[in-house]
A and B are shown apart, each in its own frame.
Chain A
Amino acid sequence: MYQDTTHVVTDSLSAVAGKEDTGWILHHVLDGKYLDFSPFGMIPLPHITLFGIDMSITRHLVVMWVAVILLIIFLRLAAKSYKKSLAPKGVANFLEVLIVFVRDDIAKPSIGHGFEKFMPYLLTIFFFILTCNFLGLIPYSATATSNISVTATLAIISFLFIQGGGIMKNGFFGYFKGLVPHGIPVFLIPIMIVVEFLGLFTKPFALAIRLFANMTAGHIVIYALIGLIFILKTYFVVPVSVSFALFIYLLEILVALIQAYIFTMLSALFIGLAVHQDH
């Protein structure tokens, strides 16, 4: 009898899955070349290959385009409403809260003097990451920031801004000389040079991985909890599974906000460290 039940469990597992038990989780989390509205059908997306590089339109790309279109619409509406009166109303009111938050709590304390030059970039990444994270929470759509390529691109752009800002303020050699802090014993300087130089690269790398892992892990947990219903094939686990999944879903909303804030704040912090090297 023991063998019968294990047979039933493994049969149901292999019936649910593709080639392994949890292949369907990855199938939903990873990128794909078609828009998947599962019981209703799917929309295939065009495959484009440019110079041998696969540039087909994928799910995450479509979500990013939706995010860009939404942002352009709402931010232009907000900007236009400022022409009528300086006190904002409507969507400008809501966006002003976020923009003032980025300016006063993220840019000014971290960068200090001369933060206006970096405000457009910080606002861009804050709103873009926030919108992508929130769009990923809608059922049937994918999270663009759960793709390591997207977060790596954002981190590379941050890296370019950090180096560019630092080099423009301190001069090319002055920036690299200023990496090593003053007032340390002489025999530590070689180690500090290596450590600081490597730190230039590890910090944006950490930014990319942090955003990617937070987004992907949250979605995987939700899929696994809901999938528990299908793996166990019983109705009794439904209230437990759905309530846990709902709790994790609410946590995901919080994590979406926090991760956008952390990415922007750490970018601002690194820019501030690079621009004002003597703090």
Chain B
Amino acid sequence: MDSLALAYLAAGFGAGLTIIGGAFGIGKLASSAMEASGRQPEAAGDIRTSMIIAAALIEGISLFALVICILLALK
């Protein structure tokens, strides 16, 4: 296998694994946010804001890895 094919393969695997990690993290975050909103509906606004902030940060991390995969696939 020449290195170009390996790079493409690695890019695909990397993107998949990254998304697994990111989706798992955001899923856990969303589930605990829903639970907390259910327990205390008047705090739902604050919880929603914090949830969006945390989701954006987790997404930032998963997009780091995605950028590396894109670099692998292009170069």
B64 within 8 A of A: yes
A217 within 8 A of B: yes
A213 touches B63 (CB 8 A): yes
Q: Which residues of B contact A258 (CB under 8 A)?
A: 52, 56
A265 touches B60 (CB 8 A): no
B52 touches A209 (CB 8 A): no
Q: Which residues of A contact B52 (CB under 8 A)?
A: 258
- Interface SS of chain B: helix
Q: B residues 36-72 with Cβ under 8 Å of A?
A: 49, 52-53, 56-57, 59-60, 63-64, 66-67
When A26-B74, A258-B52 are in contact, do A209 and B63 touch as well, CB less than 8 Å?
A: yes
Report the nearest A residue to B52, measured CB to CB. A258
Report the nearest A residue to B64, measured CB to CB. A209
- Interface SS of chain A: helix
Q: Which residues of A contact B64 (CB under 8 A)?
A: 206, 209-210, 213
| Interface size bracket, B side | 10 to 19
Q: Which residues of A contact B57 (CB under 8 A)?
A: 210, 262
Report the nearest A residue to B57, measured CB to CB. A262
Partner of A210, one of B49, B53, B63, B74: B63
CA distance A210 to B67 in the complex (A): 10
A206 touches B74 (CB 8 A): no
For residue B40, give the distance in angstroms from its CB to the closest CB of chain A.
20
* Number of residues of chain A lying within 8 A (CB) of chain B: 13
For residue A236, give the distance in angstroms from its CB to the closest CB of chain B.
26
Q: Which residues of B contact A209 (CB under 8 A)?
A: 60, 63-64, 67
Partner of A213, one of B53, B67, B74: B67
Interface residues of B (CB under 8 A from A): 49, 52-53, 56-57, 59-60, 63-64, 66-67, 74
Known: A209-B60, A213-B60, A217-B63. 9 other contacts (CB 8 A): A105-B49, A206-B64, A210-B64, A212-B67, A213-B64, A214-B63, A217-B66, A258-B52, A262-B60
Q: List 26 A-B contacts (CB under 8 A).
A: A206-B60, A206-B64, A209-B60, A209-B63, A209-B67, A210-B57, A210-B60, A210-B63, A210-B64, A212-B67, A213-B63, A213-B64, A213-B66, A213-B67, A214-B59, A214-B60, A214-B63, A217-B63, A217-B66, A258-B52, A258-B56, A259-B56, A262-B56, A262-B57, A262-B60, A265-B53
